[in-house]
Structure 1
Amino acid sequence: MRTWEARMTDSTTILHEGGPLDDIDRSILAVLKSDGRISNAALADAVGIAPSTAHVRLKSLQERRVVTGFLTSIDQRALGLPLQAIVGVTLRPGARQESITRFSEEVRGLPQVLQVFFLGGADDFIVHIAVADSSAVREFVVEHLSAQPSVASTRTSLVFDYHRNGVAASFQ
């Protein structure tokens, strides 16, 4: 595993293998968290560094896999999918690894699914969906989840409001 360190030379910071994130890296991440499409010049200005330093720093954060991508946030309501729900799924005991893998692969590909979380705890999975209405929630749960032989039970909660502080990278 590679690590990085910052070394100061004159007024330029050079990153190389060896150390943790510094205050400039954290400032860059804070700005990117609120606007992932910000221009390099605006990023540099917001952080108080030269554009060339901002470019080098961002490239380093990407190479170190601290920044793993830039995502587009889509308002599901604009797509005619104003209702979101969180569905807890518990699988039946027996042949667990096979059931877990199969369930995860099948559910991830469904168009209603926004996110899938594999958990340790009461639920095996949490499935976050966006649909047109409550009938579509019921249809999704009955046809795509409960109909699977590996599913023992589901619990559905409707989402009234949603706030995201950030986007986590996949654990895989």
Structure 2
Amino acid sequence: MALDRIDYELLRLLRKNARMPNKDLAERVGVAASTCLERVRRMREAGVIKGFHAELEPDAIGCNLQAMISIRLVVHAKTQVTAFHDHLLQLPEVLGFFHVAGANDFLVHVGVADSAALRRLVLESFTTRPEVAHVETNLIFEFRRNTDLPTTPPHAIRLADER
């Protein structure tokens, strides 16, 4: 799906506030509300917009400690990678993960109540897995999400810059 500058502006606004009313979105990008609604629907159906998520305060839900766990697999066979991927999706402590290239194979972002829960998670959910060769845990002191779009093609200059 080809995106134009209006689509990119809609994505930029939704990334900052996914609950922005359609009327306000349309007004900010200078299109009719019906046009805006159709563009967002089209981007959702095409998979450009994969979902809308609530940003939660970790401490408020009992995630008093967060960590990034680096995992190195024994073998890089598709079956082992898929098995570990599926395992991660089953763990409620896993907030997100990356399958990466380099010295490690996975970077796993976890949230737990305390250091005892982190230790238990690592020992019971990672080191016992036959496909895991190495585990390294790094505590996270602070996490901030960047709400800007990571890249904007030159043809999709922000509408605000044109005004």
TM-score grouping bracket, smaller chain normalisation: 0.7 to 0.9
Matched, 1:22 2:28: no
Match of 2:100 in 1: 119
| TM-score, length-scaled by structure 2 | 0.83
Match of 1:155 in 2: 136
- Greater shift, 158-167 or 136-145, is seen at 158-167
Structure 2 segments unaligned to the other structure (5+ residues): 150-163
Deviation of 1:167 after TM superposition, in Å, equals 10
| Secondary structure at the counterpart of residue 19 of structure 2 | coil
For the 8 Å contact 1:108–1:116, the answer to whether it is kept is no
Deviation of 1:70 after TM superposition, in Å, equals 1.2
Query: Considering only aligned residues, what root-mean-square deviation do their CA atoms show, in Å?
Result: 1.9
Q: Which has the higher contact order (CA 8 A, sep 6+)?
A: 2
Percent identical pairs in the alignment equals 37
Matched, 1:63 2:33: no
Q: How does 1:30-109 map to 2 (within 5 A)?
A: 30-93=12-75, 96-109=77-90
- Greater shift, 20-29 or 83-92, is seen at 20-29
Runs of 4+ in 1 over 6 A off after TM superposition: none
**Which is greater in Rg?**
1
Deviation of 1:166 after TM superposition, in Å, equals 4.8
Q: Residue 140 and residue 167 in structure 1: after superposition, are their counterparts in 2 closer, same or farther (change >3 A)?
A: farther
For 1:122 and 1:31, how far apart are their aligned partners in 2?
36
| TM-score, length-scaled by structure 1 | 0.79
Task: Map Cα deviations across residues 11-62 of structure 1 (whole Å, 9 max, x no partner).
Answer: xxxxxxxxx3222111111110111111111111222222112112212222
Larger fraction in strand:
1
Structure 1 segments unaligned to the other structure (5+ residues): 4-19
